[in-house]
Amino acid sequence: MSQNKQPRSPILSILFTLGILVTLAGLFFVFGGSELLNQKNESAKKSIHESIDKNLTNLAEPIIEKVVQPFRVPDLSSVPNDKYGDSILRGKDYLEHTFEKLPQFVGAKNNCTNCHLNSGTTQFAGPWIGVVARFPQYRSRSGKIDTLTDRVNDCFERSLNGRRLPEKSSEMTDIISYMTWLSKGYAIGQDIQGSGMPKIVLDRLPDLKAGRVIYESKCASCHQSNGQGLYTDDGHVAFPALWGSKSFNIGAGMARLQTAAGFVKKNMPIGQGGSLSDDEAWDVAGYFTQQNRPDFKNKKKDWPKGDRPKDARY
């Protein structure tokens, strides 16, 4: 009958040993061992907390002081040679040839860069340097927090008298890629030298007769006496239209006297920025902004909180 006394199988003996080990470990925890381990955990936790606290304190201190940041234009050679770089360059192309490349979204015969000079890299001409860090932002005209794509679409609808580009379109992505590339290195919440359009505010109505004289002598050679601009034989903008059906509509920032006067004073006649006096810029801006131009159908929705600026056209 000795054959019945089978030796234990190796698997069973391993399980048996494991069982004993688990029981021992359990006893170790119950009697004091767990206390020891807990202490170790606590001190590890404490040191993690201390280092997080230290990092938080560092963040609370101003890493970059609130000073006006210098204006830096990145070199085109720094556009990466990859898919992102391709998107940046397509975006730049849309902004420079907007009415030709995106005709379904543009009613005017002008381009974004006719106002945002040198592809959005000129100070005091609405540069896009650092613009990505300025949005989202509250805007009184819309009465809400606007994203950068909202702002881009405002200029599509108003400055180019067109339609809103779908937010998820590849064209919008490319435009944002270009603006992101121009904004590299700028922190959120910093002012940048020469951003935005300068404004002139004089405490008088513009003298439209004087404005007309200045227009004829200093502007008409390029923008034409009838304000209709000049186009090359192959249809590119040589000098953008300043009024009429090819121009921005009454909802555009450039249709406002203070903005138009500031832009003209700093940038026009092109290449001779700063040559007009404030009074001349005010009068000539009064003259061209008040000419006939397309209406803006959603104008009733502007400044919903009632804080309409004085120089708005409606």
Q: Which pair of tokens denotes residue 136?
A: 């989202």
The site map against ligand HEC for 176-195 (x = CB under 6 A) is: -------------------x
Of 182, 219, 257, 261, the residue at the interface with ligand HEC (CB under 6 A) is: 219
Of 247, 217, 216, 241, which Cα lies nearest the Cα of 229?
A: 241
Q: Which of 280, 252, 255, 287 is nearest to 266 (CA)?
A: 280
Short-list 204, 191, 211, CA closest to 290: 211
Q: Which stretch binds ligand HEC (CB under 6 A): 3-11, 30-38, 46-54, 153-161?
A: 153-161
Q: Enumerate long-range contacts of 93-99, CB under 8 Å, 24 or more apart.
A: 94/171, 94/174, 94/175, 95/119, 95/120, 95/175, 95/178, 97/236, 98/160, 99/160, 99/237
Binder to ligand HEC among 239, 299, 312, 313 (CB under 6 A)? 239
- Tell me how far CA of residue 292 lies from CA of 39, 225, 248, 310, in angstroms: 80, 14, 10, 19
- Work out whether 155 is an interface residue with ligand HEC (CB under 6 A): yes
Give least dist CB 140 to ligand HEC, A.
Answer: 11
* Contact string 252-291 vs ligand HEC (x = CB under 6 A): xxx----x----x---xxx-------------x---x---
242 contributes a contact to ligand HEC by CB under 6 A: yes
Distance, CA of 196 to chain centre:
12
Nearest to ligand HEC of 79, 112 (CB atom): 112
**223 near ligand HEC, rule: CB under 6 A:** yes
Nearer Cβ to ligand HEC, position 74 or 196?
196
One-letter amino acid of 101: K
| Binding range to ligand HEC, per CB under 6 A, among 10-18, 35-43, 147-155, 200-208 | 147-155
Q: Is 14 in the site for ligand HEC (CB under 6 A)?
A: no
Which residue spans within 177-298 are E strands per DSSP? Answer: 230-231, 237-239
Member of 97, 101, 139, 151 binding ligand HEC (CB under 6 A): 151
Encode burial over 216-250: b for 16+ CB neighbours within 10 A, e otherwise: eebbeeebeeebbbeeeeeeebebbbbbbebbbbb
Max Cα separation, the chain?
129
List the one residue from 99, 181, 243, 248 that touches ligand HEC (CB under 6 A): 248
> Which residues in this chain contact ligand HEC in the complex, by CB under 6 A?
95, 98, 110, 112-117, 126, 131, 134, 151-152, 155-156, 159-160, 175, 195-197, 218-219, 221-223, 239-240, 242, 247-248, 252-254, 259, 264, 268-270, 284, 288
